[in-house]
Structure 1
């Protein structure tokens, strides 16, 4: 049962991270008028940092005193997830006779969620 609640916590943290990512990106792009790619990087960075902190304390209850190393591992897992997300969308949308972009994105989100959860549970916060 602990694994089930850990997955739920991880998912809720991810939803909050997505809101932070979109919100910060919108704020910096639309209101502060920062370049859209810089705004996107700011949103991604804020979301990853937030997700690390919440997952460290709430989801995985880490007591690791080497938090900088742990954060670096979390960032690497997140960047690999971002790469997987892009590749999966490309393969489904571009290569599979034009699967709808949002259907492809849905599949990517599901697959990357599983990757991120398992990699963080078995590597980052073990």
Structure 2
């Protein structure tokens, strides 16, 4: 029981929970923009790139200031965060192309599943690289 309590109150677990909550806000931005663009018949891959980019920018600032609380080297951190986000945007875009255009699955379901997988990958990379505190030996 003590180990579970220690885990629940660990800095990494708290950061993961905040990351997920901020991610939900980013998903609202992402899916909101995506829904609007696809409503107006924009190609799903292009709509995904635009909407994901909006979500990435939103999430960087929330994570930087409220979650990981690192405000130094913002331009370098933003470039790293944006790069990680764009790698996962490529993953979601390829998923949409394959599963929607080639296999005929519903685009919103594919986007949800691909985004979930991408979020887990992003958290790990961003915690280790993007939001690593300078001088932190951990």
| Same fold, TM-score > 0.5, yes or no | yes
2:91 equivalent among 70, 78, 84: 84
Quote how far apart the aligned CAs of 1:49 are.
0.8
Between structure 1 and structure 2, the one with the greater Rg is 2
Distance in 2 of aligned mates of 1:106 and 1:24: 14
State the 1:5 CA deviation. 0.8
Match of 1:117 in 2: 123
Deviation (angstroms), 1:42: 3.4
Q: Distance in 1 between matches of 2:94 and 2:68?
A: 28
Q: Which structure 1 residue ranges, 5 or more long, are not aligned?
A: none
Deviation sequence 1:49-107 (CA, Å, 0-9, x none)? 1100001011111131x21111110011111122334556788x69xxx8x774x7666
Instruction: Give 1:1-126 correspondences, 5 Å limit.
Output: 1-30=10-39, 33=40, 36-37=42-43, 39-64=47-72, 66-86=73-93, 102=109, 108-126=114-132
User: Which residue number in structure 1 is paired with residue 4 of structure 2?
Assistant: none
Structure 2 gaps of 5+ residues are 1-9, 133-138
Cα root mean square deviation, aligned:
3.1
Q: How many residues align?
A: 117
TM-score using structure 1 length: 0.71
